[in-house]
């Protein structure tokens, strides 16, 4: 939260307030002749309006601090309300961490209290110190009353939710950052709120509240054993480093929820902990044998691939491509660029270490370099599809048999990186004249806000979004 301009905003809503100099020495306070300083009760006591109740000059004073300002209520020794219609007061306020003080007039509000209306919402959750002086109060023998109060400006429900979301950070079901799918959704788990990224994750939390009560996926780390040999053989490579499992010692077993992910070394653990959903998708794909680690999609066998060093004749093409599509590093920054011919199209790489990525997913990198101008060599299905008429929600359409080839080509939701049928989908949304398929309605907002971004994401995966007609 930025406080540079806080006080300019806070103190524009005062009632004829004027700044006055404050006289406040460290270690002691001055009381004006005839004034009575309020003494705190043995323990903090809540007043009838939920404020702090203290005694001064034979009466009881209740201070209520809210985002809308400061209120004072007065009661006699028996707790009966005392009229403040002839009363006046001043409140001098200082925010924790700031030496400057500001003065507000406390005036009768016609509801039995003295009020200083001021917007304190921008310092919600922060502690404030208030010096209060009151005059003209009945039952106080005509003496001015002084009171020092320390309070915290209460946070609104929206602010409390925002703070909880900031603490939780990620969805416990998908592992995606909260807010990446639109406004997070709150789910009650045994009286506590757990936030998920979208409506598609709500049922998962409700069906197993104990699993998701902590607000994040349960992740455990262990060294793999002989019992994991079959699973390791099926996974083949580390999803973080793309290195053969076992090539760097005994694989590490990271269990996300109830699904194991095997890693080449301990250094990869933090990557999985930071983005569990991403690596679950890489390892398990669509649970039908496609899209997981070791499944190459459009394999090298679909293209003729050759590798050479670039020459001076490639200089213009290298200048046009600029960066390596694998590492996103400037070409030439790691020596003479490597030239990989995929069919009749060259892709230039920063180093030899990137070659295996191109061989594994040639269509993906062709799309990245050539902006999806792949002719007939890509994994996408070119063509068009009906826009759709049966809406699930505004801008979200049910799919039909005509969509099936395009759904099969896309396979995963570009927003969630989840199988299209993982959360009740697929659904179809419109994106700059193209059709994009999503796993749940919660993803539509992201597509609508930045259609070109998500079309580019699909292009990087070698997917050609069909044209709408």
Q: How far apart are CA 282 and CA 451, in angstroms?
A: 24
Q: Which pLDDT value is given to residue 77?
A: 86
Q: Which pLDDT value is given to residue 236?
A: 92
Other beta carbons less than 10 A from residue 187's beta carbon: 21
**pTM of structure:** 0.38
Q: Is the domain defined by 52-154 classed in CATH 2.60.40.2480? A: yes
User: Residue 265 — pLDDT band, cuts 50, 70, 90?
Assistant: confident
Domain residues of the chain, as ranges? 52-154, 158-211, 219-283, 305-374, 384-468
**Residue 302 burial (CB < 10 Å; 0-12/13-18/19+)?**
middle
CB-based contacts of 49, cutoff 8 Å, min separation 6: 62, 64, 71, 73, 113
Look at residue 29 and tell me whether its pLDDT is greater than 80. Answer: no
> Taking phi first (over 0 means left), then psi (-120 to 50 degrees means alpha), and beta for anything else, what does residue 380 get?
beta
Look at residue 139 and tell me whether its pLDDT is greater than 60. Answer: yes
In this predicted model, what pLDDT tens digit does every residue of 204-249 receive, in sequence order? 889 888 888 777 777 889 999 999 999 999 999 998 878 889 887 8
DSSP state of 176: P
Instruction: Provide the token pair at 216.
Output: 């994040």
What is the chain's mean pLDDT, rounded? 78
In this predicted model, what pLDDT tens digit does every residue of 300-347 receive, in sequence order? 444 678 888 888 888 888 988 888 888 778 898 878 999 998 877 889
Other beta carbons less than 10 A from residue 28's beta carbon: 6
Q: Which pLDDT value is given to residue 279?
A: 85
DSSP 298-346: S-GGGS-EEEEE--GGGHHHHHHH-B-TTT--BTTBTBSPEEEEETTEE
Q: Which pLDDT value is given to residue 117?
A: 93
Instruction: Provide the token pair at 57.
Output: 């000059």
Q: Which pLDDT value is given to residue 34?
A: 41
Q: Which pLDDT value is given to residue 292?
A: 46
Q: Which pLDDT value is given to residue 379?
A: 35
In this predicted model, what pLDDT tens digit does every residue of 384-437 receive, in sequence order? 888 888 888 888 999 988 888 889 888 888 987 888 987 778 999 999 888 999
Mean pLDDT value of segment 347-368: 82
Rounded alpha-carbon distances, angstroms, from residue 354 to 262, 265, 459:
22, 20, 19
User: Residue 380 — pLDDT band, cuts 50, 70, 90?
Assistant: very low
Least Cα distance to 228 among 261, 257, 272 occurs for: 261
> Taking phi first (over 0 means left), then psi (-120 to 50 degrees means alpha), and beta for anything else, what does residue 58 get?
left
Lowest mean pLDDT among 77-91, 169-183, 339-353: 169-183
Q: How far apart are CA 92 and CA 146, in angstroms?
A: 11
Other beta carbons less than 10 A from residue 37's beta carbon: 12
Sheet holding 102-108, edge to edge: 36-37, 145-152, 127-135, 88-95, 102-108, 114-117, 69-75, 59-66, 52-56, 45-46
The kind and range of the H/E element at 460 are helix 451-460
Of residues 307 and 460, the one with the higher pLDDT is 307
Lowest mean pLDDT among 25-34, 74-83, 390-399: 25-34
Rounded alpha-carbon distances, angstroms, from residue 111 to 83, 115, 366:
10, 10, 72
Q: Which pLDDT value is given to residue 18?
A: 31
Of residues 148 and 457, the one with the higher pLDDT is 148
């Amino acid at each position: 939260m930025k406080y540079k301009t806080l006080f300019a905003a806070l103190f524009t809503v005062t009632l004829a307030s004027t700044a006055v100099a404050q006289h406040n020495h460290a270690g002691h306070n001055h009381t004006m002749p005839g004034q009575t300083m309020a003494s705190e009760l043995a323990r903090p006591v809540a007043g009838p309006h939920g404020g702090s109740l203290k005694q001064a000059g034979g009466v009881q004073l209740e201070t209520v601090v809210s985002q809308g300002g400061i209120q004072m209520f007065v009661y006699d020794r028996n707790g009966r309300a005392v009229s403040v219609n002839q009363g006046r007061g001043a409140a001098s306020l200082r925010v924790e961490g700031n030496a400057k003080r500001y003065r507000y007039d406390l005036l009768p509000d016609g509801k039995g209290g003295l009020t200083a209306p001021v917007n304190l919402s921008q310092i919600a959750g922060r502690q404030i110190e208030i010096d209060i002086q009151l005059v003209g109060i009945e039952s106080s023998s005509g003496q001015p009353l002084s009171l020092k109060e320390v309070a915290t400006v209460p946070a609104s429900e929206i602010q409390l939710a925002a703070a909880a979301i900031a603490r939780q950070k990620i969805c416990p079901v998908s592992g995606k950052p909260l807010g990446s799918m639109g406004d997070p959704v709150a789910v009650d788990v045994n009286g506590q709120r757990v936030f998920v990224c979208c409506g598609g994750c709500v049922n998962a939390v409700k069906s197993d509240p104990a699993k998701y009560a902590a607000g994040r996926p349960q992740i455990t780390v262990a060294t793999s054993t002989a019992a994991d040999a079959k699973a390791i053989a099926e996974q083949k490579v580390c999803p973080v480093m793309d290195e053969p499992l076992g090539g760097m010692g005994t694989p590490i077993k990271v269990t996300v929820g109830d699904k194991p992910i095997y890693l080449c070394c301990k250094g990869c653990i933090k990557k999985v902990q930071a983005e569990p959903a991403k690596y679950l998708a890489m390892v398990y794909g669509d649970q039908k044998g496609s899209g997981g680690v070791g499944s190459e999609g459009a394999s090298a066998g679909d293209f003729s691939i050759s590798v050479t060093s670039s020459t001076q004749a490639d200089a213009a093409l290298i200048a046009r491509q600029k960066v390596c599509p694998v590492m996103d590093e400037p070409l030439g920054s790691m020596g003479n660029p490597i030239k990989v011919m995929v069919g009749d199209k060259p892709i230039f790489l920063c180093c030899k270490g990137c070659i295996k990525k191109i061989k594994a997913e040639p269509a993906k990198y062709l799309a990245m370099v050539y902006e999806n101008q792949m002719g007939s060599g890509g994994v996408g299905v070119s063509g068009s599809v009906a826009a759709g008429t049966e809406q699930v929600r505004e801008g979200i359409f049910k799919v039909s048999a005509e969509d099936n080839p395009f759904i099969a080509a896309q396979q995963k939701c570009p927003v969630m990186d989840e199988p299209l049928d993982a959360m009740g989908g697929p659904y179809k949304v419109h994106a700059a004249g193209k059709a994009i398929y999503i796993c749940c309605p919660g993803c539509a907002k992201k597509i609508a806000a930045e259609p070109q971004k998500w079309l580019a994401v699909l292009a990087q995966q070698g997917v050609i979004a069909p044209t709408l007609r």
